[in-house]
Structure 1
Amino acid sequence: MDKILLNGMEFYAYHGLYPEENKLGQRFYVDTELMLDLSKSAASDAMEDSIDYGEVYECVRVVLEGEPKNLVEAVAEEISAELFQQFPQLEACTIRVTKPDPPIPGHYQSVGVETFRERKE
């Protein structure tokens, strides 16, 4: 399956279980793998036969900067749902949401989730 990749999108948002996360906010990184057949757009070289990267970014931004969620799992799920709604040619997607600075004790680079969803007919 062909893929369109958007990696390292960065947002400041207010998702999390702890009150300080909802009040102070924090950085989030989002990576997407959008799976679809790119043969038509490759042959036509026409944007209308593909998915516009800028529109994907805007879709993700609206979710991240929208209503706060307790869990990054819920954020990833909403991103997938919005992408399927906005892009009918999208067949499946992998969404990775990373929190580089969660307010939990320990030494690590980041925490996050990765989800894979397929279009339901």
Structure 2
Amino acid sequence: MDKIYITNMKFYGYHGVYPEEQKLGQRFNVDLVLGCDLINASNSDNIEHTVHYGQAYEITKEIVEGEPRKLVETVAEQISHALLQQFTILTSCTVKVIKPDPPIPGHYDSVAIEITRTRS
């Protein structure tokens, strides 16, 4: 399977379990790995035969910067669902949502979740 990577997209959203997260907001980074067959795109040199990166970014942005959710798992699920719906070429979609500054004590670079969904 071929893959398209869109990595380290940066957004500001209001997701989190704690009230201050939904009030103050925080940074979120998102990585996508989009599984598909790119043979038609490479042979035709036609953007209609692949995933338009700009559209994938905009879909992701709309969800991350949109309605607040308590869990980043929910955010990732919404992104994967929207991308699989928009791009029929996709056979799988891996979404990683990263919180660089979660409101928990400790020393770390970030916390993240990653989900993979396939077309059924």
**TM-score interval (norm. to shorter):** over 0.9
| 1:65-104 superposed matches below 5 A | 65-104=65-104
Deviation at 1:69, TM superposition (A): 0.6
* Residues paired across the two proteins, number: 120
Q: Normalising by the residue count of structure 1, what TM-score does the alignment of the two structures yield?
A: 0.98
Q: What SS does the corresponding residue of 1:68 show, helix, strand or coil? A: coil
Deviation at 1:19, TM superposition (A): 0.7
Q: 2:32 maps to which residue?
A: 32
Deviation at 1:66, TM superposition (A): 1.0
Q: 1:14 maps to which residue?
A: 14
Structure 1: unaligned runs, 5 residues or longer: none
Q: What SS does the corresponding residue of 1:91 show, helix, strand or coil? A: strand
Misfit runs of 4+, over 3 Å: none
What is the alpha-carbon distance in structure 2 between the residues aligned to residue 40 and residue 87 of structure 1?
14
Q: Normalising by the residue count of structure 2, what TM-score does the alignment of the two structures yield?
A: 0.98
Structure 2: unaligned runs, 5 residues or longer: none
